[in-house]
Chain A
Amino acid sequence: MLTYAARRLAVMVPTLAIVVLLVFFATRAMPGDPIGVMLSDHSADLVLASRLRAEYGLDRPLGEQLGHYFLGLLTGDLGLSFRYLHVSVAAVLASGIRVSLTLATLALALAVPLGVAGGVLAAVRRNRWQDNTIMATMIGMISVPNFALATFLVYLFSIRLHVLPVAGWGTVAQAVLPTLVLALPAAAYIGRLARSFMLEVLRQDYIRAARAKGLSPTAIVLGHALRNTMVPLSTSIGVVFGGLLSATFVVETLFNIPGLGRLAIDSIFGRDYPVISAIVLLFTVFYALINLGVDLLYAAIDPRIRLA
């Protein structure tokens, strides 16, 4: 298992290198340049512009800039932010990473139990009113776009009822609405999968055997069926986590949360190349690690699966 993990990690290196290349050229291909953004209306000050260009190494040939960037990455140096004077990219990202991961994790912690409970209940009560109600609710939660849901929740809880703050980050109360907005569609997605996986498992022979032995329905579902439902579901949960990280782009902007998503958007508008590259790189690493984690989890949940 360790060799497997090590091999998977090694394969990540070329993937990351390709991502770095793509992002490097994509940011350079964007119209406009960071010095122009820095100087704004005053960009006719050519002396100042050329001095800044030299300071940030932007007057060098592209190949040299790329080489310099790669070398920096190897030594763990992500460079200096273009937008925040004197501040390193690592410092700009540090707090954002913590915020986005916390937010996505909170949402996942809420979405998984909610989704699994809903899905299992719907499967067990298949085609009865419980099933119909749960499924209708879940389809609704998936269909409503997160910005609409957010606006509605803010209007209801913050402006009408005054029980939760509109936006911001730092207190538990401020985390409630963004977590809900992220978690509800994820829970619905997980719930629908859980329902179909559970239905499949409930048709298996060993369940029939358990029923024949006279086990209570609760014991059958929780003791035997649920664990086998979790195997295929765990892959999907990895995907959901990745999706949650991407959804933070919208949710962080709406709720004014200083995470990676909002930072990415600000950096794109500010042509902060080093910060954009670092964020894309980070997301790539997250996705790769999530996939690896899911594969390892697979083996842990299902002893029949051997990793090689």
Chain B
Amino acid sequence: MRALAVACVLAAMAIAPPVADAKMLRVNIVADPAMIDPITYSELVATNVMRPMYEGFTRTRDDGASEPALATGWSFSADNKVLTFRLRDGVRFHSGRPFGAKDVKYTFEELLRPGNKGGLNAPSLKTIAGAAEFADGKATGISGIRVIDPLTVEIDFVRPDVLFPIYPFQFMDSGTVAELGPDWMTKASAGTGPYKFVRWTRGVEVEEAANPAYWGGAPKIDGIHFLVVPSGDTALSMYDAGELDYVEVPESSFRRVLADDRYARELLKVGKAQVNYLGMNQSLYAPFRDIRVRQAMSLAIDRAAMIKGLFNNAAIPLNGQVTPGVAGFHDGLPPLAFDPARAKQLMADAGFPDGKGLPTVQITSTAPFKDEITYLAGQFKRVLGMPVEVNVVERATHIRAMNAGEEALFPWGWTADYPDAQTFLGAMWTSGSPYNRTRYKNPEFDRIMADAQLAGDANKRYALYGEAEKVLMADWATAPLPITTYVALRKPNVHGLTETPFGFSSFQPVVID
């Protein structure tokens, strides 16, 4: 009894309205980051917490274009095989040490050093001369990277890569490991960004403080709490109670947020830099070899109904294979129609009137997309008479099978790795790409994409992407599916933070009233 009384008193003492710290921004992340260092960096939560702390040659603006960050300019040699970067003067790391060419070389070598578990950015380096030898332990450094002077670095390529300047590298202070030891990432950040690492309490939060010495101007708030909140409903309750200033709403809670008028003025909705498509593997399901069947598949899908019924309006139509907000996106592709009569006619022309003679095919995806594949299977059955079975599998198994070219029919997507249409068109549809999951092959498309890879001039490149996308769509290589949007809520007293196709915008200009 006494214990109970004490507990009650303690609880009563603790009952006080939670005090909002006016200068700390509180946002949610759905899980702990798996890592918090730029070398092993390889997943999306880590992207969110690391982007405020680390920078690359360029950065992505809110509109999707790239602009110089730690490099002020660069130039390619005539054959595009030598790339020279001029680095920004006067930039200091969070440690106070100056940023320079040696740190670029250091970061690249650490990404490829044998035994270092180099993450997402490591594959972007494989075209550098000497990279393969270094990664195999046959050289002590990457021979193709030369420090010309403290602010100039020159890189030789085995194969030209005109996109190299816009890859999302995160340059790291070369003095950090010597100063803080191999577990430095638990103590400090080694970047140049507007925020510095304070602490990571596993399961609770990642805290970052403003970097008053930031070269682009000190942030106007004191710092950021990235609170780990796996449940969408909990995150919304915290937002309602004023414990979060900004919440990226998980998909499971979209319906609740979009249907509630209270949120209308605080709502942000932006299409993700993630293409969606219907994969049709022509070698696994013979009818897909007929272009009329592929076109009929697209015509059988009522995209407006999908957006309303399946995505609660948190989606926008996609008419090609590049998403808005990614450089190289072309507006004005003809809208994809829902036309059952024409679809039926095409099937009849192809020799499958009312689906007669079509073998059974499985449409495959993971549990979260169960409704989507059930809807699609229903459409293909009803409109085309195609015998489609719904097959739900575990995620990693599904991804492996798709990448291995073992799935005949599947709706899936691809998230942009960098802000250029190459990330979609190159990975998904050029023959020979390990992510060409339908094993689509069109020599004309491949030729245009090869030209684009050599086009250092961005506008020329974007024009080529437009051509390639037209070829792809004229061939009905796929039926593009609506892309989903980020849904976020922002308190009226928070300014300068929004959603972009790549998630959170920059935290540098955030202001809290």
Contact = CB atoms under 8 A, between A and B. Distances in A.
Which secondary structure dominates where chain A touches chain B? helix
B204 A170 contact: yes
B123 A45 contact: yes
A43 B238 contact: no
A84 B122 CA distance: 19
A162 B228 CA distance: 21
Interface of A: 30-33, 36-46, 48, 52, 55, 83-86, 92, 95-96, 106, 109-110, 113-114, 117, 151, 154-155, 158-159, 162-173, 176, 253-256, 258-259, 262-263, 266, 271
Contacts, number: 140
A48 B3 CA distance: 56
A69 to B, nearest CB: 21
A269 B233 CA distance: 19
A259 B3 CA distance: 24
B241 A31 contact: no
Given A84-B35, A167-B238, A173 B203 contact: no
Nearest to A180: B11
| Leading 8 A-B pairs by shortest Cβ distance | A258-B203, A36-B396, A32-B396, A172-B14, A44-B434, A44-B403, A31-B394, A173-B14
26 contacts: A31-B397, A32-B396, A36-B396, A36-B397, A37-B395, A41-B414, A41-B435, A43-B400, A96-B203, A109-B4, A110-B4, A113-B1, A155-B237, A162-B241, A165-B18, A165-B241, A166-B238, A167-B238, A173-B15, A173-B16, A173-B18, A254-B231, A254-B234, A258-B201, A258-B228, A266-B31
Nearest to A255: B234
Interface of B: 1, 3-4, 7, 10-11, 13-18, 31-32, 34-35, 40, 42-43, 117, 120, 122-123, 183, 201-204, 227-231, 233-234, 237-238, 240-243, 393-397, 399-400, 403-404, 414-415, 434-435
Nearest to B414: A41
A113 B6 CA distance: 12
A263 B240 CA distance: 25
Given A40-B399, A164-B15, A254-B231, 16 more contacts: A30-B394, A32-B395, A33-B396, A36-B395, A36-B399, A39-B42, A41-B399, A95-B202, A109-B4, A110-B4, A117-B1, A159-B241, A165-B243, A166-B240, A173-B15, A176-B14
A256 B15 contact: no
Contact of A32 (B13, B14, B397, B403): B397
A39 B42 CA distance: 8
Contacts of B396: 31-33, 36-37, 43, 271
B237 A166 contact: yes
B133 to A, nearest CB: 15
Contacts of A106: 7
Given A85-B40, A85-B117, A262 B230 contact: yes
A47 to B, nearest CB: 9
A159 B32 contact: no
A6 B11 CA distance: 40
A168 B7 contact: no
B15 to A, nearest CB: 5
A36 B400 CA distance: 7
